[in-house]
Amino acid sequence: MSRFLSRKFAGVEPYVPGEQPRGGSFLKLNTNENPYPPSPRVLNALSRGEAEKLHLYSDPAAAGLVGAIAARFGLAPENVFVGNGSDEVLAFSFLAFGGDAPFLCPALSYGFYPVFARLLGARYEAVPLREDFSLDAEAFVGCGKNVVIANPNAPTGLAVSRQTVRRIARSNPDRVVVIDEAYVDFGGESAVPLVPECDNLLVVQTFSKSRALAGMRIGFALGNPALIADLNTMKFSFNPYNLDRLALLAGQAAIADEEYLADCTRRICATRAKTAAALRALGFAVTDSKANFLFVRPRGISGPALFAALRARGVLVRRWDDPEISDWLRVTIGSEDEMARFVAVTGEILQEAAR
Ligand SMILES: *Cc1c(COP(=O)(O)O)cnc(C)c1O
């Protein structure tokens, strides 16, 4: 910290992203990236001719991408906000709506929420999950606070129904309810159909996971036009050209390829089921994940020991030190081959530990 940093930021603890190794050959199952490349339509959209236009600014209204997303979800362009990754959309949400009431979040969830709150001047309160990691929905019903819930949740993978989201949104009519659907395409029930009836609901999604564009940084929010206008006030007061020209084109191409999305997510869900069965056969506890990762607790070895042994063999997964989950690992679903290798390496480690 320099002696110049604003005093109000002295206690900020930044979010720590999963490791992104540069060299070496790692099996990377630690940041929930899609194992498959983006849609071929995306690759075609990123032509040399488009790159040559990079001397020009991108469209600050992002009209092409906003229109394509609106059409995809049966909403109007006024219902759509796009950001530089859903992280930026979430940040603008904390910035815009966190001034008057705290944000209530599940205690075990996306680690960025408390960081955004701290940085952007919003208060943050956490509700513990139940023993089985399920959401204590009643704590959010009629809470009178803003709400942020990841659905499906990370790192647990557990999802709540649209009906539960509706109850939370309808019972807090004077607060904003943000549903972070980063993983919804892998088996969750989306809250998007509630947007027309709940003017306090913001549904946030990303192109990073199911649409295989983590490196392009595209996220969006769907909500009432007044909420979307507020997010645009934040954006135009901060970074009007928040998506670059190539990202806008890639996003439009990706949203148009429904078939590719369905195919990719179907494959990942099939691999998830197979991997879960293999790990259960090895004695693991495995939650009922509706995301592109599994949340698992090994038997016969501690979580930290398995994490270290995997890493020593070039396999990266994610774990946290929070006491309730210190023995659990979050494992991204890769390709069939990658997961077969993961299961084989894990089996070897367990055998060695048993000796
Ligand atoms: C990955 C993730 C995001 C952020 O994704 P972006 O790449 O910024 O779009 C947001 N929320 C959750 C819960 C995530 O796991």
Question: pLDDT for 244-273, tens place per residue?
Answer: 999 999 999 999 999 999 999 999 999 999
Helix, strand, coil shares of the chain, percent, nearest 5, are 45, 15, 45
User: In a mutational test of the pocket of ligand 1, which residue from 31, 93, 110 has the highest number of ligand atoms less than 8 Å from its CB?
Assistant: 110
Asked if pLDDT for residue 23 goes beyond 80, the answer is no
- For residue 242, pLDDT over 90 is answered with yes
Mapping DSSP to helix (H, G, I), strand (E, B) and coil, where does residue 125 land?
strand
The answer to whether 115 and 13 are in contact (CB under 8 A) is yes
Mean pLDDT of the chain: 97
- Rounded to the nearest whole angstrom, what is the distance from the C-alpha of residue 29 to the centroid of ligand 1? 15
To test the ligand 1 pocket, which listed residue (180, 207, 242) has its Cβ within 8 A of the most ligand atoms?
180
Residue 303 amino acid letter: G
Q: Which of 301, 300, 236, 199 is nearest to 83 (CA)?
A: 236
Average confidence (pLDDT) over 207-233: 98
Work out which ligand 1 atom sits closest to the CA atom of 32. Answer: 1
What separation in Å is there between the alpha carbon of 211 and the centre of ligand 1?
12
User: Which residue's CA lies nearest to atom 14 of ligand 1?
Assistant: 182
Q: How confident is the model at residue 108 (pLDDT cuts 50, 70, 90)?
A: very high
Tell the residue nearest (CA) to atom 12 of ligand 1. 182
| Rounded mean pLDDT, 42-70 | 98
Q: Which residues line ligand 1 (CB under 6 A)?
A: 32, 85-87, 110, 150, 154, 180, 182, 206, 208, 214, 219
* Atom number of ligand 1 nearest to Cα 209: 1
- Lowest average pLDDT, out of 17-31, 165-179, 287-301, goes to 17-31
Confidence of residue 24 (pLDDT cuts 50, 70, 90): confident
Question: b/e for 136-171, b at 16 or more Cβ within 10 A?
Answer: ebebbeebebbbbbbbbbbbbbbbbebebbbbbbbe
pLDDT at 58 (0 to 100): 98
